[in-house]
Amino acid sequence: MTTSLTLLRVLRDRDAGLYLTGLVVSGFGTSSLWLASGVWVKELTGSDGLAALCMLAMWAPTLAGPALGTLADRLPRRPLLIALNLGLAALLLTLFAVDSAARLWLLFTVLFLYGTAGVVHDAAESALVSSVVGPDLLGDFNGLRTAVTEGMKLVAPLTGAGLYTVYGGPAVACLDAATFVLAAGLCALLRVREQRPARSGEGWRRQTAQGVRHLWGHPVLRPLVRAGGTTMLLTALASTTVYAVVDRLGHSPAYTGVLYAAQGAGSVAAGLLAGPALRRLGGRRFAAAGIALTGAAVVARAVPWDPVALASAAAGGLGLPCVLIAALTAVQRETPGPLLGRVTATAHTLVFTPNVLGLAAGAGLVELAGPGLLLPLYGLALLLTALPLAQRAASASRTAARSPSDANPA
């Protein structure tokens, strides 16, 4: 019932509904291309390493997030989003030229530019959402955004793989291009009045530094973003054990798809529940609860029993998005509009870059020790990550409880 009311609260807002529809459309195309690009490279070259580079090409621009996010603060955001969507649609059509391994450089170039535009797009979108969606709806919107994104991951990759099998890679690129055109049209329908960004004599580097200083010097944002980055690092380390876990369960590698589906279902549920939970618990307590649940799920994953493996996958999917939603919502609420693009992009860099590092390190560690040893260690580290946030939340609650009596002594 609460979830239905949350959905209705957001969808009653015309602009929020348009945003979510745009996310469904563009997220479907992105998730389709994500899987198909790796299959495309694998088929042309036979190389697992080159296929894995597709994801690296899309993730690498996140490292330049603070500088790229500054662009979202220097230009009007709605026209920028429309231009990015249309530009990506045109860019994807160049993939029709990829017909041999010799032309794979074009695919990797497109994926890199795709990731670069995505960083700017996410920064501009977050900034524009905060001016369109009321502060009381931000938690609900960000939760539903997570639910939509994770829901697409359950459906779109299979669609992309099927389309690739029948018609080839260019057909998937064409599908993704069409979704960007539709997303641009939906963005054009938004009724938002933006103030033109103020011109200042400050250079790009100084403006970027302002965003970094605001984030790292803010007493609410810094602990949430730091906990988010640590959580992503540890869950990435844990995710590299998935094939070893499946092997201990006595299944073929294809069983990983079942575990990912259970995790995705948990993430959809987290997104739907996030708005009410944020209002009830507050950002720090909500994030701490999610990290603790993720830690417990990672520990449980070490038990070689199918029901526990499935339950731990669903629990991990439920817990992991909590700190990400809490951090993004706090950034939107605690950051002045003119800074929001670069602060959002900086937060994304600090939170998601550890994911790449964790995948690289975890791949080596899992060769040295089995999941029975590694997973409890990762889970314990996650529980320790949750502890400071919970302590801060408890301290803030005690301070708030004392304030009325301090202000009005008996």
- Please count the CA atoms within 13 angstroms of the CA of 265 that sit on its side-chain side: 12
With bands split at pLDDT 50, 70 and 90, how would you rate the model's confidence at 6?
low
Q: Lowest-pLDDT range, 77-91, 156-170, 270-284, 326-340?
A: 156-170
Q: Are 158 and 185 found together in one domain?
A: yes
Higher pLDDT, 2 or 54: 54
Q: Are 50 and 176 found together in one domain?
A: yes
Q: Are 215 and 263 found together in one domain?
A: yes
Does residue 197 lie within any of the structural domains?
A: no
Residue numbers of the domain that contains 241: 205-394
Q: What's the pTM value of the predicted model, to 2 decimals?
A: 0.87
Residue 136, pLDDT > 50, answer yes
Which tokens is 348 given? 């994304």
With bands split at pLDDT 50, 70 and 90, how would you rate the model's confidence at 38?
confident
Higher pLDDT, 50 or 279: 279
Residue 370 burial class via C-beta count within 10 angstroms: exposed 0-12, middle 13-18, buried 19 and up: middle
Q: Tell me what the pLDDT averaged over the chain comes to.
A: 87
- Taking only the tens place, the pLDDT of each residue in 380-406 is 999 999 999 998 777 776 665 665 444
Residues 363-372, mean pLDDT to the nearest whole number: 88
- The residue behind tokens 């302590």 is 391
Number of domains present in the structure of the chain:
2
The winner for highest mean pLDDT among 75-84, 157-166, 250-259 is 75-84
Does residue 232 lie within any of the structural domains?
A: yes
Confirm if 37 and 170 have CB atoms less than 8 A apart: no
Q: Are 144 and 239 found together in one domain?
A: no
With bands split at pLDDT 50, 70 and 90, how would you rate the model's confidence at 215?
very high
CA distance 263 to 110: 30
Boundary residue ending a domain (190, 214, 231): 190
CA angle 128, 131, 135 (to 5 degrees): 125
Does residue 343 lie within any of the structural domains?
A: yes
CA distance 43 to 377: 38
Does residue 46 lie within any of the structural domains?
A: yes
Confirm if 27 and 152 have CB atoms less than 8 A apart: yes
Q: Are 47 and 162 found together in one domain?
A: yes
Q: Lowest-pLDDT range, 154-163, 220-229, 248-257, 399-408?
A: 399-408
Residue 32 burial class via C-beta count within 10 angstroms: exposed 0-12, middle 13-18, buried 19 and up: buried
Q: Are 247 and 390 found together in one domain?
A: yes
Give 300's contacts (C-beta < 8 A, 6+ positions apart): 308, 311, 312, 315, 379
Boundary residue ending a domain (160, 190, 220): 190
Does residue 400 lie within any of the structural domains?
A: no
Instruction: Give the pLDDT confidence score for residue 3 in this predicted structure.
Output: 56
Q: Where are the alpha helices (DSSP H) in 189-305?
A: 204-217, 221-239, 242-249, 256-281, 283-300
Q: Are 170 and 65 found together in one domain?
A: yes
Confirm if 231 and 320 have CB atoms less than 8 A apart: yes
| Number of neighbours of residue 404 by Cβ within 10 angstroms | 8
Q: Are 96 and 179 found together in one domain?
A: yes
CA distance 310 to 77: 42
Instruction: Name the residue among 229, 220, 206 with its Cα closest to residue 356.
Output: 229
With bands split at pLDDT 50, 70 and 90, how would you rate the model's confidence at 19?
confident
Instruction: Give the pLDDT confidence score for residue 48 in this predicted structure.
Output: 66
- The residue behind tokens 């991951």 is 153
Residues 138-150, mean pLDDT to the nearest whole number: 87
CA distance 235 to 295: 9
SS3 337: helix
Q: Where are the alpha helices (DSSP H) in 77-168?
A: 77-92, 104-132, 138-167
Instruction: Give the pLDDT confidence score for residue 59 in this predicted structure.
Output: 83
Q: What is the CATH number of the domain that holds 387?
A: 1.20.1250.20
CA distance 269 to 284: 19
Residue 166 burial class via C-beta count within 10 angstroms: exposed 0-12, middle 13-18, buried 19 and up: exposed
Q: Are 185 and 215 found together in one domain?
A: no
- Taking only the tens place, the pLDDT of each residue in 53-112 is 787 788 889 889 999 999 988 888 899 999 999 999 999 999 999 988 999 999 999 999
Q: Are 180 and 236 found together in one domain?
A: no
Residue 23 vs residues 17, 20, 28, 232, 349: alpha-carbon distances, Å = 10, 5, 8, 23, 21
- Angle between the N-to-C axes of helices 371-407 and 283-300, in degrees from 0 to 180, rounded to the nearest 10: 160
Give 307's contacts (C-beta < 8 A, 6+ positions apart): none
Which of the 8 DSSP states describes residue 134? Answer: -
Instruction: Name the residue among 274, 322, 270 with its Cα closest to residue 295.
Output: 322
Does residue 404 lie within any of the structural domains?
A: no
Q: Are 373 and 226 found together in one domain?
A: yes
Q: Are 254 and 137 found together in one domain?
A: no
